[in-house]
Structure 1
Amino acid sequence: MTIKHNRKADFSIHEQFTKRWSPRAFLEKDVPDDLVFRALEAARWAPSSMNLQPWRFIIARTKDDRERFHSFIMDGNRVWSEKAPVLILFLSKKKGSSHTFDTGIAFGFFALQALENGLITHPMGGFNKEKARVVLEIPDEYQLHTVVALGYQGNKATLSSELQAREMPSTRHPLQDFIHEGKF
């Protein structure tokens, strides 16, 4: 199910940028391994400072692995993300000054490839990072960033009425709100 949107860019860009958004309604349908790994492959090709490639991905595709992730996802996200067939924790090795920036770019590549594959993504900051570190046995030299729900878009009627009201592509501020020329 694809929701139509009226998102308009200020300048001509590829439609993938305006089509990508973060739905919460997921079909409880398995994602073929090939599509999961194609999206991760796109993330692997993201640019990184000094080519350090600091990103790491912990994937939960089995019921047991997803339940392990559910233990540290906050209730507001857990209520809808439990239907997602794949959960992925994006983290980075704390090496170099731009590991967080580089991993964010990797997520962008991942999200756009997932969209190309007919999938949706929803990154979540609402999870207990310290609990995730313990549950997933993550060493201290890694920084945890986001848990991404990946799957096929479902019907928003499966969500609570509060979430149904929010289940639409968001708008963006005009480009000129972000640009400073010469100095701030």
Structure 2
Amino acid sequence: MPHATSHKVRDEIRSLEVAGRHGLQGWGEAQHRLLTDLGVEPDVTEVDGNLLMYGGASVQWQTLIGNGSATADQALTYYSNARAAVGVGDSTTAAAATQTDLQAATNKTRVAMDATYPQHTDGTVLASASIAFRATFGTAAANWAWQEWGIFNSATAATGRMLNRKVESLGTKTSASSWQLTLTLTLA
């Protein structure tokens, strides 16, 4: 079951200089506790489900048989930290498995992975059936109503392949906030 978590943080947090003083990078449990201790709570939105795109499914099958690529911006590029991106847009067009990009006419942005993402734990237990992608959209990025999102194997617009797409409102981002979107995909 695919799951998305969005952490929305007002820019006032920056005025506290929390990030600089405490090396804050991303939103793990330790960072959340730190902000809570300082009296700052991020707004968290959680959404389930999405649609696997045919092009993204093809990349997975091709890489399983050894046909993937580490070269940037190619159709069969791996969804690695150096290549993967999360994209958001403002279109409410229904998801269709044949789509190759977000459907917004102009308001769509892809952001590269945060450090250490995507994350997957190898093994033979249920937790090993999941992978998490995470990107942080700073105050200057994607300031519009977030109506759609997806995972890409390229941070460059109109290149690579879209793995999945979800159409659902996550709210309206402004330049007064940074939002972090974590997308977890599970095969189970």
TM-score, normalised relative to structure 1: 0.24
Higher helix share: 1
Which structure is richer in relative contact order (CA contacts within 8 A, separation 6 or more)? 1
Q: Whose strand proportion is higher, 1 or 2?
A: 2
